[in-house]
């Protein structure tokens, strides 16, 4: 019971300190919004990331339509069909100069006919070669144009082979044959013998927001600011030691282990309360924490367990209130930066990922992201929870060993 | 109380590595008395108090509080004592009532009993009308009163006060001394440590003078003053002090002890020297002192004569002054 009395006293002190609300709730919410928007939150993640390329079709043939499809399928370019006044090349060029378009492809009239006749017809491309986007666009446009030219050559040879045995009824029939042959050639090109399939879980399909920036920003800021929130809790411990109240506690009926546990429990509960608030906020942003509530609770508890133990250690090692700030912010930056709270570890090198997973933050991020980004089940968090629990035990043992009452 | 002493200390030793902080002290505090441990900083008072408060384990020896050993029955000892530390050991961001509530729970009070006792203590320490105020906004005196109030929550039989008047203003100090007397009138045994001999003199039924880990004298105020007999203490301030002058003073009949540069006299300024003498009769000795000083060309700039007191006892026993430490 005395443990809880001490815990409640600590929590009461924390609530009185305006810095607690700042570090525990306000800053993580602001940074979640900031990083969420930066990584494409509120649908930004669903936005097409490909380079926009203007497409002015002066030919309006099946070949120009094929070229448009090839560009669209490039994976890098997003063709934007320019029509009406927008199709004015000068106007389109101004858009390139303004950076609204990476390039503009102008398909000249009779492009299709001449291509199928075996002529190499140059496309007019407007782009800024001093821009990386322009260079990328040029390379992709060249590839698409060469692929179309190859398909047209195959179609032409096929028509010749056909004509060697039979005759087309008329010119229209020949053009239809050639158009179909071009499409088949392009289609054959797109169906290589080896096919890589990318599958996504049904949970991901059901909730497209999982791909949004908040799915990473929400758990990452939660983990990061749980460490920042330790400043207040550790300061209480330091102040208690400095005022000799901690020493005075030893003259009462509470024992040393109870004092350590009481302070630890206060930090643990403080972080749990912080997580509940931030998870509710994340849920409002569409991060699907409640899809696996039990698994989220496990990750939350394990993360709070090691973070609270770290807070206890900071309170033990720091001699002054100023030191608690330094001792909290340094691990916050290191653990967050290297542990994947700022940049997902999947985007880093294998070596960096290995180093990152030496830190508990990486396992906390794995646990949360397995649930809210990868759409996995409770079994996916068991390993992260086990490893974080081991960290919690180690850090707590270290803090208890070094605990000073004066 | 069944005639049982409140505190019995038996051949208590405490070592911190090479430092022998308490060197085999023994004393007994009868129930209902105020007992002072008087001595300079570093004498071993706080270490002794820490052992009696179960904060430190003795290296050897033992201490009994209300018959309970600090080594074998620390929880029983804690239940019997209320400790008032030298520092303001409070939570400044909590209110006076919240502090008392918390500390009350730490000593095992709950529910209605806790609320009632907190109300009583708030009345005793005169903070009932400020009970909801944050301690951080209290004056030093109010904090001191609350610091004492916390020790009273569980109605302890023994109050241990570790230099509670260090660094406070005279008015607060007066309040604390009055509080100690009042607690004692209510039947509490008080163990009080101080390096102010006036406090020990005013408060104590018995005094133990400590120096360098030992008790060098013990008894009532009258007992201790008897050690220096009827000696007067004479403090002199001089503009210079050749060695041969103090040698000559030592030869004067009636001069028992000459201590150079001991307690700094309030009127001494830079370049001046102070000398303290313990003499049989200051009226007879003073003219001879002035005569010798005149012959040596030394000017005596101030003279203070004191009746025998605990300071003189400490000076007599150690050759050093309490306040020099």
**A223-237, B77-91, B257-271, range with the lowest pLDDT:** B257-271
Distance CA A177, CA A100 (A): 38
Residue A207 in domain: no
State how far the alpha carbon of A63 is from the alpha carbons of A88, A109, A184, A311, in Å: 21, 11, 12, 67
Non-local (6+) Cβ contacts of A36 within 8 A are: A42, A212, A213, A214, A217, A218, A285
pLDDT value at position B105?
94
Judge whether residue B263 has pLDDT over 70.
no
The answer to whether the CB of B27 falls within 8 A of the CB of B218 is yes
Mean model confidence pLDDT for chain B: 87
Q: Which of B53, B55, B83, B106 to mutate to test the interface with A (most CBs of A within 10 A)?
A: B106
Asked if residue A149 and residue A10 are part of one domain, the reply reads no
Q: Which of A8, A14, A17, A251 to mutate to test the interface with B (most CBs of B within 10 A)?
A: A251
Determine the distance in angstroms separating the CA of A248 from the nearest CA of chain B, rounded to an integer: 7
Q: Could you write out the DSSP letters of every residue in A373-403?
A: TS---GGGGHHHHHHHHHHHHHHHHHHHHH-
Distance CA B238, CA B293 (A): 9
What DSSP state is assigned to residue B186? T
Mean pLDDT of B285-309: 85
pLDDT value at position B325?
44
Q: Which of B270, B264, B318 is nearest to B38 (CA)?
A: B318
pLDDT value at position B116?
94
| B205's tokens | 């039924």
Residue A28 in domain: yes
Determine the distance in angstroms separating the CA of A399 from the nearest CA of chain B, rounded to an integer: 20
Asked if residue A179 and residue A152 are part of one domain, the reply reads yes
CB pair distance less than 8 Å for B106 and A2: yes
Mean pLDDT per 10-residue section of chain A, whose length is 406 residues: 92 85 85 79 56 90 88 83 88 87 90 84 85 82 88 87 82 83 79 52 46 80 88 88 90 90 94 93 89 93 95 91 89 90 82 91 92 86 95 95 84
Map residue B205 onto helix, strand or coil: coil
Distance CA A126, CA A336 (A): 44
Q: What percent of chain B has pLDDT over 70?
A: 94
**A73-77, A390-394, B97-101, B129-133, range with the lowest pLDDT:** A73-77
CB-neighbour burial class of residue B13 (10 A; exposed 0-12, middle 13-18, buried 19+):
middle
Asked if residue A380 and residue A238 are part of one domain, the reply reads yes
Q: Could you write out the DSSP letters of every residue in A187-244?
A: HHHHS-SS-------HHHHH-GGGGSTHHHHHHHHHHHHHHHTHHHHHHHHHHHHHTT
Asked if residue A36 and residue A57 are part of one domain, the reply reads no
The alpha carbon dihedral of B63, B66, B72, B76 has a sign of: negative
Torsions phi, psi for B241 (to 5 deg): -150, 85
Name the residue range of residue A161's domain: 48-202
CATH number, residue A183: 3.40.1710
Q: Which of A188, A295, A249 is nearest to B107 (CA)?
A: A249
Non-local (6+) Cβ contacts of A43 within 8 A are: A209, A212
Residue A339 in domain: yes
Judge whether residue B238 has pLDDT over 60.
yes
Domains of chain B: 7-226 (3.40.50.300), 230-307 (3.30.70.1340)
The alpha carbon dihedral of A62, A68, A70, A72 has a sign of: negative
Map residue B25 onto helix, strand or coil: strand
Asked if residue A353 and residue A261 are part of one domain, the reply reads yes
Strands B81-84 and B255-260: unpaired
The A-side interface with B (CB below 8 A) comprises 1-2, 5-6, 9, 12-13, 16-17, 239-240, 243-245, 247-254
Distance CA A226, CA A365 (A): 13
Distance CA B243, CA A247 (A): 49
Minimum CA–CA partner of B108 in chain A: A253
For the segment A102-148, what is each residue's pLDDT rounded down to a tens digit?
A: 899 999 988 888 888 888 778 889 988 877 778 888 888 988 888 88
Q: Which of B275, B288, B293 is nearest to B234 (CA)?
A: B275
Asked if residue A186 and residue A96 are part of one domain, the reply reads yes
Radius of gyration of chain A (CA): 31
**CA angle centred on B252, ends B247 and B256, rounded to 5°:** 85
Q: Which of B37, B52, B44 is nearest to B19 (CA)?
A: B44
Q: Which of A389, A404, A227, A402 is nearest to A324 (CA)?
A: A227
Q: How many domains does chain A have?
A: 2
Distance CA A263, CA A399 (A): 11
What DSSP state is assigned to residue B219? E
Distance CA B206, CA A130 (A): 96
CB pair distance less than 8 Å for B53 and A251: yes
Determine the distance in angstroms separating the CA of A253 from the nearest CA of chain B, rounded to an integer: 6
Count of other CB atoms within 10 angstroms of residue B12? 25
The answer to whether the CB of A275 falls within 8 A of the CB of A357 is no
**CA angle centred on B268, ends B267 and B270, rounded to 5°:** 135
| A372's tokens | 């809210």
Strands of the sheet with B158-162, listed across from one edge = B81-84, B158-162, B189-194, B34-38, B206-211, B214-219
**Chain A residues whose beta carbon lies within 8 Å of the beta carbon of residue B53:** 250-251
CB pair distance less than 8 Å for B90 and A5: no
Mean pLDDT of B163-168: 82
pLDDT value at position A49?
65
Residue A126 in domain: yes
Least CB–CB distance from A253: residue in B75, B83, B150: B75
Asked if residue A94 and residue A33 are part of one domain, the reply reads no
Map residue B94 onto helix, strand or coil: coil
Residue A333 in domain: yes
> In terms of DSSP H, where are the helices of A243-292?
245-249, 256-284
Asked if residue A158 and residue A13 are part of one domain, the reply reads no
Asked if residue A292 and residue A194 are part of one domain, the reply reads no
Asked if residue A227 and residue A246 are part of one domain, the reply reads yes
Strands of the sheet with B19-29, listed across from one edge = B19-29, B7-16, B60-65, B68-69
Determine the distance in angstroms separating the CA of A263 from the nearest CA of chain B, rounded to an integer: 14
pLDDT value at position A210?
45
For the segment B26-48, what is each residue's pLDDT rounded down to a tens digit?
A: 999 999 999 999 888 888 999 99
Of how many residues is chain B composed?
Answer: 325
pLDDT value at position B213?
92
**CA angle centred on B271, ends B267 and B277, rounded to 5°:** 60
Strands B68-69 and B81-84: unpaired
Determine the distance in angstroms separating the CA of A18 from the nearest CA of chain B, rounded to an integer: 12
pLDDT value at position A56?
92
Asked if residue A19 and residue A68 are part of one domain, the reply reads no
Residue A172 in domain: yes
- ipTM over 0.95 threshold: no
B1: confidence class by pLDDT, cuts 50, 70, 90: very low
Mean pLDDT of B12-29: 93
Asked if residue A274 and residue A145 are part of one domain, the reply reads no
Torsions phi, psi for A365 (to 5 deg): -65, -40
CB pair distance less than 8 Å for A244 and B94: no
Q: Tell which of A172, A202, A232 closes a domain.
A: A202
What DSSP state is assigned to residue B164? T
Distance CA A219, CA A300 (A): 10
Distance CA A372, CA A366 (A): 10
């Amino acid at each position: 019971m005395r443990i809880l009395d001490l815990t409640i006293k600590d929590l009461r002190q924390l609530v009185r300190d305006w810095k607690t609300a700042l570090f525990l709730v306000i800053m993580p919410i602001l940074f979640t919004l900031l990083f969420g928007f930066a990584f494409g939150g509120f649908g930004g993640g669903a936005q097409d990331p490909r380079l926009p390329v203007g497409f002015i079709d002066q030919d309006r043939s099946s070949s120009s339509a094929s070229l448009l499809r090839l560009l669209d399928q490039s994976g890098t370019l997003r063709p934007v069909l320019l029509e009406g006044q927008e199709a004015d090349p000068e106007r389109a060029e101004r858009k390139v100069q303004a950076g609204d378009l990476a390039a503009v492809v102008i398909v000249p009239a009779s492009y299709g006919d001449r291509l199928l006749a075996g002529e190499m017809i140059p496309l007019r491309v407007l782009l800024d070669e001093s821009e990386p986007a322009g260079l990328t666009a040029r390379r992709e446009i060249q590839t698409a144009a060469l692929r179309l030219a190859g398909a047209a050559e195959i179609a032409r040879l096929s028509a010749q082979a056909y004509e060697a045995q039979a005759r087309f009824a008329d010119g229209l029939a020949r053009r239809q044959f050639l158009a179909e042959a071009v499409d088949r050639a392009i289609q054959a090109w797109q169906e290589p013998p080896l096919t890589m399939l990318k599958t996504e879980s049904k949970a991901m399909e059901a909730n497209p927001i999982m791909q949004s920036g908040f799915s990473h920003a929400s758990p990452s800021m939660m983990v990061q600011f749980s460490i920042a929130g330790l400043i207040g809790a550790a300061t209480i411990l330091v102040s208690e030691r400095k005022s000799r109240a901690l020493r005075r506690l030893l003259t009462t009926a509470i024992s040393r282990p109870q004092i350590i546990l009481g302070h630890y429990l206060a930090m643990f509960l403080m972080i749990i309360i912080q997580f509940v608030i931030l998870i509710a906020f994340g849920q409002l942003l569409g991060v699907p924490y409640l899809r696996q509530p039990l698994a989220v609770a496990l990750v939350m508890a394990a993360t709070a367990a090691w973070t609270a133990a770290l807070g206890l250690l900071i309170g033990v090692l720091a001699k002054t209130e100023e030191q608690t700030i330094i001792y909290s912010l340094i691990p916050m930056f290191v653990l967050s930066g290297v542990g994947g709270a700022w940049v997902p570890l999947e985007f880093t090198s294998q070596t960096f990922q290995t180093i990152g997973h030496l830190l508990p933050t990486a396992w906390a991020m794995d646990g949360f992201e397995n649930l809210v980004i990868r759409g996995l089940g409770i079994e996916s968090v068991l390993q992260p929870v086990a490893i974080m629990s081991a960290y919690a035990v180690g850090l707590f043992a270290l803090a208890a060993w070094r605990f000073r009452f004066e | 109380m069944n005639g049982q002493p409140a505190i019995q200390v038996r051949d208590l030793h405490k070592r911190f590595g090479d430092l022998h902080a308490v060197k085999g002290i023994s004393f007994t505090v009868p129930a209902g008395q105020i007992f002072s441990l008087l001595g300079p900083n570093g004498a071993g008072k706080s270490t002794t108090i820490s052992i009696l408060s179960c904060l430190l384990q003795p290296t050897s020896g033992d201490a009994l509080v209300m018959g309970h050993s600090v080594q074998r029955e620390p929880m029983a000892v804690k239940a019997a004592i209320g400790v008032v530390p030298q520092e303001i050991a409070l939570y400044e961001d909590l209110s006076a009532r919240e502090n008392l509530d918390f500390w009350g729970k730490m000593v095992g009070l709950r529910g209605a009993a806790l609320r009632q006792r907190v109300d009583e203590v708030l009345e005793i320490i005169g903070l009932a009308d400020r009970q909801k105020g944050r301690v951080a906004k209290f004056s030093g005196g109010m904090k001191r009163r609350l610091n004492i109030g916390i020790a009273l929550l569980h109605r302890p039989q023994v109050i241990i006060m570790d230099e509670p008047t260090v660094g406070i203003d005279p008015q607060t100090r007066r309040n604390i001394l009055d509080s100690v007397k009042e607690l004692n009138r209510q039947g509490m045994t008080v163990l009080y440590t101080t390096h102010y001999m006036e406090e020990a003199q005013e408060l104590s039924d018995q005094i133990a003078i400590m120096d360098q880990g030992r008790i060098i004298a013990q008894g009532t105020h009258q007992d201790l003053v008897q050690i220096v007999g009827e000696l007067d203490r004479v403090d002199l301030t001089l503009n210079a002090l050749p060695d041969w002058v103090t040698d000559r003073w030592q030869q004067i009949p009636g001069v028992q002890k000459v201590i150079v540069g001991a307690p700094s006299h309030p009127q001494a300024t830079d370049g001046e020297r102070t000398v303290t003498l313990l003499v049989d009769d200051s009226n007879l000795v003073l003219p001879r002192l002035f005569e010798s000083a005149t012959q040596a060309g030394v000017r005596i700039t101030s003279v203070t004569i004191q009746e025998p007191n605990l300071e003189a006892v400490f000076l007599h026993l150690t050759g050093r002054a309490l306040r020099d430490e």
